[in-house]
A and B are shown apart, each in its own frame.
Chain A
Amino acid sequence: EAQVTQNPRYLITVTGKKLTVTCSQNMNHEYMSWYRQDPGLGLRQIYYSMNVEVTDKGDVPEGYKVSRKEKRNFPLILESPSPNQTSLYFCASTIRGTLSGANVLTFGAGSRLTVL
Chain B
Amino acid sequence: GDSVTQMEGPVTLSEEAFLTINCTYTATGYPSLFWYVQYPGEGLQLLLKATKADDKGSNKGFEATYRKETTSFHLEKGSVQVSDSAVYFCALSDSGYSTLTFGKGTMLLVSP
Contacts and interface: CB of A to CB of B under 8 A. Distances in A.
Given A41-B104, A42-B104, A90-B43, A98 B89 contact: no
Contact of B49 (A98, A104, A107): A104
A49 to B, nearest CB: 10
B27 interface: no
A90 B98 CA distance: 17
Interface in B64-91: 89
Contact of B97 (A4, A92, A99, A110): A99
Contact of A48 (B36, B99, B102, B104): B99
B32 interface: yes
Contacts of A58: 99
Given A90-B44, A101-B50, A42 B93 contact: no
Contact of A99 (B41, B50, B99, B102): B99
Most chain A CB within a 10 A radius of its CB, from B43, B51, B104: B43
Contacts of B44: 43, 90, 92, 105, 107
A99 B100 contact: yes
A67 interface: no
Nearest to A112: B41
A44 B102 CA distance: 7
A102 interface: yes
Given A107-B44, A109-B43, A100 B32 contact: yes
A110 B43 CA distance: 6
Contacts of B102: 35, 42-44
Interface of A: 4, 33, 35, 40-45, 48, 50, 56, 58, 90, 92, 98-105, 107-110
27 contacts: A4-B43, A33-B100, A42-B89, A43-B89, A48-B98, A56-B98, A58-B99, A92-B43, A98-B96, A98-B97, A98-B98, A99-B32, A99-B97, A99-B98, A99-B99, A99-B100, A100-B51, A100-B93, A101-B50, A101-B51, A104-B34, A104-B46, A105-B44, A105-B100, A107-B45, A109-B43, A110-B43
Interface of B: 32, 34, 36, 41-46, 49-52, 89, 93-94, 96-100, 102-105
